[in-house]
Every structure is written in C-alpha cells, then in structure tokens.
Amino acid sequence: MDIYVFIYPPGEATPVPAGLFTYDETSQQGRFEYGRRYQKQVGALAVDPVALPLGRPGRFVEANGGLYGAFRDASPDRWGRLVIAHRLGVPPETLNEGELLLSPNALRVGNLDFRPSLDASEPVPAPPGFHQLGAIMDAAARVEAGEPLGGQNESALLHLLEQGSGLGGARPKCTVEHEGSYWVAKFPSAGDTWNNPRVEWATMRLAARCGIVVPEMRLENVGGRDVLLLKRFDRVFGPGGAVSRRGYLSALSALQLDDGDREDFSYIALADVFREKGIGDRKTLRQLFMRMVFNIFCRNTDDHPRNHGVVFDGGQGDLSPAFDITPALARRGVGEEFSLSMTVGAQGRAATIENALSVTARFGLTADAARTVVAEMRAEVADWRAEFNAAGVSERDMLLFEPSFESRQLRVERTVP
C-alpha cells in the first residue's frame, strides 16, 4: 500500500508532499522515503524529527503496527478507533493501520496528512459546533455502550465523533469549533463514579498554580453535563480564519517505544532525549521535572508517555502543554506506597519525592534548586481543597480524592542527602 505523506509548513494553510510511505499490511512493516525535490526545499521539515531526520533513508519499521512514531500519533487514538469500528460493525482490533492513516481527517493531531495519491483532494475540516455537543455526547454514550445510534443522522454523528484529537486515551471526546478556535471536548464516561471533567479541570488548574504550562481551558455545562474544553495547541488561527498547524510527537514516539515497552517508560530517558535532540532548553527540563513531581503529589498514575508530547514550529521543538492530569483514587491508610507509569529516579517508578530528587542533574537542576521547586509546589498542592472548591467540585468528590492528595509525600518533608 502506497501512502503519500504531506506536511504543513509553519504558518501555512496548504500542505506540500514530503515523501512516500510504503506499508505492507500482511507483515505490518512500513518504510518511508523523502522525496528528492522536497529535501531540496528551503526550510524543509522532518516528518518525524526523531525517527526520520532529513537526509537519512527511512528503514523498515515493525513496531507500532508498522508505523513510525509521528505517523502513529497522527492516526486515530483508542477512542477514534472505537468510533470507526462502531461505524463499520467490526472489532477495533481488526482495523488496518494503513487504512486508518488514509481515513480523511483534517483534525488529526500535528502537521501531517496522508493520501492515496499526490493529486488526492485535501480533507475539509468539519468539526461540530458547540451547539451540537448535546447530540454528540448522546452519540458517544451509545458508542461506549455498543448500542446502535439509529435515526437518519447516525452517519453524520459518527463522522463528527471521528474528528478526534489523537492525543491518546479511550475516554469519549471530539474536536469542537468554539469562538473561532478548535477545542478538545472531553465528555463524561459511562463508567465514571465522580464528575471526571470537573475534577480534571480542577486538577489542571492546580497544576497551573504550580507553574506547569497547561492549555487554555474551559468547563462548560451542556444539558446538565459538564464538558471540559482544552484548546488545541497544535493549531494556530491567523487573520481571516486561516488555520496553520504545529508538528506533534508524543513522548512515546520521542522515546522511539511501542505501547508494549512499558519497562522502558522513563522521565529520565525522556529528559536525555530532549538534551540529545536539542528539544527545548533548561526551562523544558525543569517543566518535565515539575510535571513528574506534580503527578506524585496528586497521585496521577496514568502518566504514561502518550500523555506527554512535543510540539514543533520548524525548530527543534519544545514540551507541549500538559494535558490529561487526573488523580487516581486511593483509600486512607491503604496503599500509601504507589508508582507512576514512568521511571522517576534511582528507585525506579516509586512515587516519592526522595526518588524524584535522586537524579536532579538529569533535569538540569542542582539539588538545592530541585528542593526549592518541590517546596514551592508542595505549598500550592497542599491548598488543593480550596482550588477544588473554587472549581465547583462537590463535597462528595472532594472526600473521594482526599486520600489521593493527602499522601505521605505531601504531608511530610522528606530528608534527602
């Protein structure tokens, strides 16, 4: 299967062909070659700055279902695959990676597009408007439950639901156009036992108080249901409504790992990649360290590398704004010791401040500077209840998450040599 890869240059609303991706669906192997004409263009960008630098022929890739990291990131996420499988009436596991790449989607994450030929038409952005969210949420609930949508609008609703963000995860969501921008609308899920959108909103606000960069956010009520809106950081709206794109690479792809390589998920390794590839600067490494510490303080154990990313504007890129930060539930006095999804320090994934402070030099911080960062963040997170209350989180939900925040790591100042 031949798939032509297009890329949107910085500030441009029209893409240019960058090369050819040859995908073998039987062996699940892929190979990419840059076009010679493209490589000679002034300002040519790598389609995957880590795995496919310009001037180097793309080798066969067998991981990720035969996709390079940036291609996988631009493919539908778990929620998008569930919607597509629902429309086709097949199990999500049977979907073909090549066909998923070629599924027209002008709202896929990043600055790449994939077409069956050089003269294939460009997909047209068709996100739902904010006024359609009620119907979209109802459709999402039926997809989650495995129920047919029914009615004359079924195909239209499924098409709108397929316009996902590609930022990973299986929770129901879609991209929505609101007040001249694109937003990822994150819906309640059928399995939620608390108000997830509001709790995530409050937690992200708390992260911002700690100095962590987050997207512009809003919490909206649609038909009595809370919806969290995160502004798309991979899209830039210019004069006259022109939309340009920013490149995106998940941390999983920056590490050149597959979903099954969990033993290799590591904040330390990610910091090393940033330094080796020239991604960001010392502030970037500091942000990564702060994000890791915040996840310890709020017990966010779903911090896998798909929930971190890099954005590119033509240079070497920088850490994307933080997204998808939600505390995990805990029981008071039970399971005080826990682990993150990624290696933290010398003690592996142990979610302790002592462990986070064991490798500060890898994040470009002295021991004293790191302790200062931790102390400042601890003071902010200790006030979590006031932030949650200001965000309108119910008393019931605050009681649910009290053990998650009031852990030993937050209560006690650890002594670290």
Residue 2 token pair: 């031949």
Q: Give the pLDDT of residue 334.
A: 66
Rounded CA separation 283/281 (Å): 5
pLDDT band at 399; cut points 50, 70, 90: very high
DSSP state of 342: S
Q: Has residue 187 been placed in a domain?
A: no
Q: Give the pLDDT of residue 408.
A: 67
Least confident of 56-65, 161-170, 216-225, 402-411: 161-170
282-297 helix and 367-381 helix, angle to the nearest 10 degrees: 50
Going from the C-alpha of 208 to that of each of 47, 231, 288, 371, 377, the distances in angstroms are 31, 15, 14, 19, 10
Q: Give the pLDDT of residue 375.
A: 95
pLDDT band at 416; cut points 50, 70, 90: very low
Q: What percent of the chain has pLDDT over 90?
A: 63
Least confident of 35-44, 63-72, 303-312, 326-335: 326-335
Task: Answer whether 111's CB lies under 8 Å from 246's CB.
Answer: yes
Residue 354 token pair: 């002592």
Task: Answer whether 178's CB lies under 8 Å from 220's CB.
Answer: no
236-286: per-residue pLDDT in tens?
A: 888 777 889 999 999 999 999 998 999 999 999 999 999 999 999 999 999
Rounded CA separation 332/342 (Å): 24
Q: Has residue 162 been placed in a domain?
A: no
Does the predicted TM-score (pTM) go above 0.85? yes
Q: Has residue 174 been placed in a domain?
A: no
More confident position, 412 or 156: 156
Q: Give the pLDDT of residue 167.
A: 67
Q: Which residue has the tokens 């590398």?
A: 305
Q: Has residue 22 been placed in a domain?
A: yes
Residue 319: pLDDT over 80? yes
Rounded CA separation 277/271 (Å): 10
Q: Has residue 368 been placed in a domain?
A: yes
Q: Has residue 214 been placed in a domain?
A: no
Rounded CA separation 36/365 (Å): 43
3-state secondary structure of 167: coil
Mean pLDDT in residue range 132-151: 83
pLDDT band at 151; cut points 50, 70, 90: low
Least confident of 58-62, 76-80, 246-250: 58-62
Q: Look up the domain containing 321 and give its range.
A: 245-411
User: Across 54-63, 64-73, 212-221, which has the greatest mean pLDDT?
Assistant: 212-221
Residue 410: pLDDT over 50? yes
pLDDT band at 369; cut points 50, 70, 90: very high
Cβ contacts of 310 within 8 Å, gap of 6 or more: 248, 249, 250, 251, 254, 279, 280, 317, 318, 319, 320
338-351: per-residue pLDDT in tens?
A: 999 999 999 999 99
Q: Give the pLDDT of residue 142.
A: 86
Residue 361: pLDDT over 60? yes
- CA 60, distance to chain mean position in Å, is 26
In the chain, % helix, strand, coil (3-state, to 5) comes to: 40, 20, 45
Residue 415: pLDDT over 50? no
Query: Domain boundary at 64, 86, 115, which?
Result: 115
pLDDT band at 152; cut points 50, 70, 90: low
Least confident of 32-36, 88-92, 304-308, 322-326: 88-92
User: Domain tally for the chain?
Assistant: 2
Q: Give the pLDDT of residue 125.
A: 83
For β-strands 309-312 and 318-319, DSSP reports them as antiparallel
Query: Domain boundary at 80, 115, 150, which?
Result: 115
Q: Determine phi and psi for 54, rounding to 5 degrees.
A: -60, 145
Q: Has residue 70 been placed in a domain?
A: yes
Q: Give the pLDDT of residue 165.
A: 58
Residue 337: pLDDT over 90? no
Q: Which residue has the tokens 């036992």?
A: 193
Q: Give the pLDDT of residue 414.
A: 41
Q: Give the pLDDT of residue 266.
A: 98
Rounded CA separation 279/403 (Å): 37
Residue 412: pLDDT over 60? no
Q: Has residue 130 been placed in a domain?
A: no
pLDDT band at 2; cut points 50, 70, 90: very high
Query: Domain boundary at 115, 136, 167, which?
Result: 115
Q: What percent of the chain has pLDDT over 70?
A: 94
More confident position, 237 or 332: 237
> What is the Rg, in whole angstroms, of the alpha carbon atoms belonging to the chain?
21
